[in-house]
Amino acid sequence: MTLEGSLEARVSTDGDGTGSPAVAFRFTVTNTGAEPLELQFSDAAKAEFVVQDEDREVWRFTEGRAFMQMLSAERLAPEESTTYDGEWERPRPGEYTAVAELRAQEASCEARTEFIVPD
């Protein structure tokens, strides 16, 4: 999915809660433009991960967590990617949608993927 003109995003899951107490998320953001981009962040949480059951939110990565308040920046050259990770511990069995969103100050993009946590 491309938003903000020159950012493309995708999210994937590693694991399904089977044999592991968690589902890991990998959110990759790529600069598809011809110019370098500088992503500015106001805290250490550079990406948000949300798990939805249909339209109902069942888990949010940043909920109940504290993140260091610090200004930082990441520069992405044309066609360069960066990846952010999150983890949902003790997921409940079911069919879900994972939504990942970049938390940069002046750029935004998001990606979605469906996944299943078996019984």
Q: Residue 12 is part of which domain span?
A: 2-117
Mean pLDDT in consecutive groups of 10 residues from the start of the chain, 119 residues: 69 71 94 94 94 95 87 94 95 95 92 93
Which domain CATH number covers 73? 2.60.40.2360
Distance, in Å, from the CA atom of 47 to the CA atom of 82, rounded to the nearest integer, reads 11
pLDDT at res. 65: 84
Structural domain count, the chain:
1
Burial class (CB in 10 A: 0-12, 13-18, 19+), 25: buried
d(CA 113, CA 119): 20
Question: What is the spatial distance between Cα 58 and Cα 46, in angstroms, rounded to a whole number?
Answer: 21
